[in-house]
Structure 1
Amino acid sequence: MSSPSEPSPPPGCPAHGAGPRTPLYTQEFAKDPKAHYAYLRTFGPVAPVELAPGVDAALVTDYAAALHVLQSPDTFVRDSRRWRALNEGQVPLDSPVLPMMAYRPGPLFEDGARHLRLRQAVTDSLAKLDTHQLTRWVERTATYLISQFSSRGKVDLIGDYARLVPLLVFNDLFGCPGDLGDRVAFGISGIFDGTDAQSANDVLVEALLELVTLKRAQPGDDILTHLLQHPAGLSDEEMIPQLIQLIGGGFEPMSNLIGNALQILLSQGSQADGPQGGVILVEDAINDVLWNSCPIANYATHFPLYDVELSGIRLNAGDPVLISFAAANSDPSLSAGRGTVSRRAHLAWGAGPHACPAKDPAMIIAVQAIEKLLNELPDIEMSVDPDALVYRPGPFHRALGSLPARFTPVRSTRPRTSLNPGIVQTPQGGQAEAAPAAAQKGKFWSGFLAWWKG
């Protein structure tokens, strides 16, 4: 990719002294991505970046150029089997970005007729989702999670809430029984945490295969059953990557959306302008996140079918081109006319044939989870200065590492099943030894079911 004469990175930029490519995986980038996006814009609408050591890409930072790529499937495709550097052995096979970029036979990496077939199965199955039932699922899930920490007076809203709500809700949506749901939760968490990811992936695939077999024999009123019964006739080999993309693709963005919105709300207007004297509504906080702190900041990997120019920048066939949803949303040319731009014109949900098919259920989950927390713990507030918050490094997401908060303790009236391995919570908030950690690890879903039936 050619570019204008190389500008100097701003002071403190990790690209300083490291060549023209800006690494997106460092803690420095996570600390201040806006400054890095401003620097990347000096290259034009497309900039050279490094996603991980040895993995180069072009990042689209311009709103109009991003829309063009997203809406031009005849020129830019999603099938990463066209990734030239990977095919030529230039990408390390143990690279941490491969799980997000390497080809899998699901709608995320397909184009044309095959993509339409797989996507239609998803959209039709999601259309059967009862929104009232979904609201009830989220409410009872939130009630359960809040009961785990309400008597303590303090909580990490990321690890104890925002990252667990999607896991439990998705287990409900896909009709997981207790043990299988635990293994799915363990597998998804392990993949995103990067801790023994291969082992976690093996657990996840095995659990999903068992779940598909179970649902073929015992169908229910859930998304997985709807997928299995869809006229597209998905095979088991197609179902597994479909489920991994649906669950995994929902888990990380949903966790980040809830966490980032809570950070705004608990900061009392420091990150957004409230419409009512500084009071920020939940929907306004979520909208602020989608515009200014995209849960998935840089992704939607495309590959040019042939050498092409994008807004005057040459892109080579088979080289990865990523969309910076975060940078495009904050494009100065767009911001200048923000008053005339629709609130829904952000690119956080994507655009074109691969736009997110589940944005409506995602909004329901986020709104309900946040409102339930604020209603149950009305005096909850951050227990650290907002400037002390640390974001997790990584090229794709905008994700808080933790969000410490405090509130007036609430006495629980029901026994609590701990999510902390090896610990059982008593009704008075005390702790007692339980089974060994290895036997308890990942018992999110069965613990929830025990509480609900309790």
Structure 2
Amino acid sequence: MSAEGLTRLYGPEMEDNAPALYEKLRAEHGGVAPVLVQGDVPAWLVLGYRENLDVTRNPTRFTRDSRLWREAHEGRVAIDNPLLPITMWQPMCAFLDGEEAKRLRSAVTDSMKRMDRRGVRRYVTRYANQLIDEFASAGHADLVADFAGILPMLVSTKLLGMADSEGPRLLDAARDMVKASETAIASNAFIIDTLRALVAEKKRKPGDDFASWLIGHESQLSDDELAEHLRLVLIASYSTTANLIANTLHMVLTDKRFRGNLAGGHMTLPDALEQVLWDAPPFTAVYGRWATGDTELAGHHIKEGDMLVLGLAAGNTDPAIRPDMSAPVHGNRSHLAFSGGPHECPGQDIGRAIADTGIDALLARLPDLRLAVDEDKVRWRTSLLSRDLVALPVAFTPLDPAVVGDAGRVAHHTEPSAQQSRLPVPVPDAAAPARTGRQSWWQSVLRWIRGA
């Protein structure tokens, strides 16, 4: 595949308006388009819904084993290419197919099944209320920096069996890695080193946590396999859930379809989450799949060793399956947000539970939550894997400091019903006083996370 004249999946055009770029490529090439990824490496972007399913469901034609990547074999992928942390072959189920992949994936899925869903929701409620306590008396907040961007990492590190103090540095490293920054490789190494230390600790002193269950699984994962699978779970759960929370809150606050339905009381929070998974999936793309031999896809000749990028966001908006984008999709889980086939995300229900419970806790305590800026002032950042909100500034009626903190957590520490929770209808703006409140250990952790 010649690189001449190909569209880049990075840079200004992608960052300014990714959806428009997807539609331009669809109009020019159909369900699959030749593109350039980081380092001007040729690849194929899968745009069509059916084509995405074809690729994900046929591992004998399109494998997850990146050792087949021809461009890498022929020396056209630099050793500092930011794609390497997410494409370089590693000893884990996400980079294998067949029996070995089943062995490794079963260790992950069986360990996830041991998680107590009520326990997960209790952790989420606890951490969500601790975060809310920090801004509840101020009357204003940034729901990306102060809530959505922090909550999933706090919950994930707890579920893995790590101390609360591990969260801040892992959060910084995870954010850096998924942005494909110049320091992404160093951030990836820090995460791996931290998880290797966790494996060693849990081998000495097992606990009632995901890391210990993974270590004790009958599949008998090696230390390398354990660290890589813990990394996979940590990064995937953090990245997808943080985006899902932020995107759902954004749509609740800005989308007229939600306001109309909410006014009539017909939309549950799970309905809202599912709509977001269609319209603004947490991962917009997945790198990648590799052709196991010369083949055809959507009329294009794919050569052995070519890389394919799954266009999850593009597939979800394919006119062939969604001719009317304004039509609601409540109850329809056939979106591509969690990929598909044998590598479909095994933790999607846990991610939904974290997002659902966290948002429910936020809206229950701040029922008049509203956007604090004009909708067109909300900014987005397109990264390697996702389209992220830069900030989501909101205002609300401040809570009395007397009911914030331990008293507030006791008053609001009830487990929400994922099926019956309703979202509040936004109300007109009110003046927001300056931030006030106590200086606590929790605030020092938050300052660390935000780099203050």
Pairwise TM-score range, normalised by the shorter structure:
0.7 to 0.9
Contact 1:20 1:48 in 2 (8 A): no
Give 1:95 shift: 1.8
2:140 to 128, 150, 154: 154
- The question of 1:288 aligning with 2:300 is answered no
Q: Deviations for 1:218-242, whole angstroms, at most 9, x for unmatched residues?
A: 1111111110110000111111111
- The question of 1:140 aligning with 2:126 is answered yes
State the distance in 2 between where 1:120 and 1:73 align.
17
Higher mean C-alpha displacement, 196-205 vs 68-77? 196-205
State the distance in 1 between where 2:446 and 2:317 align.
47
Calculate percent identity across the aligned residue pairs.
35
Higher mean C-alpha displacement, 353-362 vs 401-410? 401-410
- The question of 1:332 aligning with 2:319 is answered yes
Give 1:83 shift: 0.8
- The question of 1:82 aligning with 2:90 is answered no
- The question of 1:98 aligning with 2:106 is answered no
Alignment correspondent of 2:431: none
Contact 2:86 2:287 in 1 (8 A): no
Give 1:249 shift: 1.2
State the distance in 2 between where 1:130 and 1:207 align.
25
Q: Deviations for 1:432-454, whole angstroms, at most 9, x for unmatched residues?
A: 9x9xx99974599xxxxxxxxxx
- The question of 1:170 aligning with 2:178 is answered no
Change (3 A) 1:57 1:238: same
Change (3 A) 1:268 1:45: closer
State the distance in 1 between where 2:197 and 2:292 align.
38
- The question of 1:40 aligning with 2:25 is answered yes
Q: Deviations for 1:261-287, whole angstroms, at most 9, x for unmatched residues?
A: 000001152678737548753222211
Mapping of 1:5-404 within 5 angstroms? 20-42=5-27, 43-192=29-178, 194=181, 196-269=183-256, 274=261, 277=264, 280-336=267-323, 343-404=332-393
Change (3 A) 1:377 1:245: same
Higher mean C-alpha displacement, 397-406 vs 26-35? 26-35
Amino acid at match of 1:33: A
Change (3 A) 1:190 1:62: closer
State the distance in 2 between where 1:203 and 1:326 align.
30
Contact 2:129 2:361 in 1 (8 A): yes
TM-score normalised by the chain length of structure 2: 0.85
Alignment correspondent of 1:451: none
Contact 1:191 1:201 in 2 (8 A): yes
Contact 1:190 1:196 in 2 (8 A): yes
Give 1:370 shift: 0.8
State the distance in 2 between where 1:279 and 1:412 align.
34
Q: Deviations for 1:131-163, whole angstroms, at most 9, x for unmatched residues?
A: 111110110010011111112221111111111
Contact 2:290 2:306 in 1 (8 A): yes
Higher mean C-alpha displacement, 134-143 vs 45-54? 45-54
Contact 2:66 2:88 in 1 (8 A): yes
Alignment correspondent of 2:437: 429
Give 1:38 shift: 1.3
Contact 1:26 1:393 in 2 (8 A): no
State the distance in 1 between where 2:90 and 2:231 align.
10
* Structure 2 portions without partners, runs of 5+: 407-434
Q: Deviations for 1:378-428, whole angstroms, at most 9, x for unmatched residues?
A: 111111222222211224212111111111222334669xxxxxxxxxx95
Q: Deviations for 1:56-88, whole angstroms, at most 9, x for unmatched residues?
A: 210111111111111101111001111111121
Contact 2:47 2:314 in 1 (8 A): yes
Amino acid at match of 1:23: R
Q: Deviations for 1:78-112, whole angstroms, at most 9, x for unmatched residues?
A: 01111111121112222222212221211111111
State the distance in 1 between where 2:16 and 2:176 align.
24
Q: Deviations for 1:355-376, whole angstroms, at most 9, x for unmatched residues?
A: 0101111111111111111111
Contact 2:85 2:185 in 1 (8 A): no
TM-score normalised by the chain length of structure 1: 0.84
Amino acid at match of 2:14: F
Higher mean C-alpha displacement, 342-351 vs 355-364? 342-351
Contact 1:269 1:280 in 2 (8 A): no
State the distance in 2 between where 1:412 and 1:227 align.
43
SS in 2 for 1:176: coil
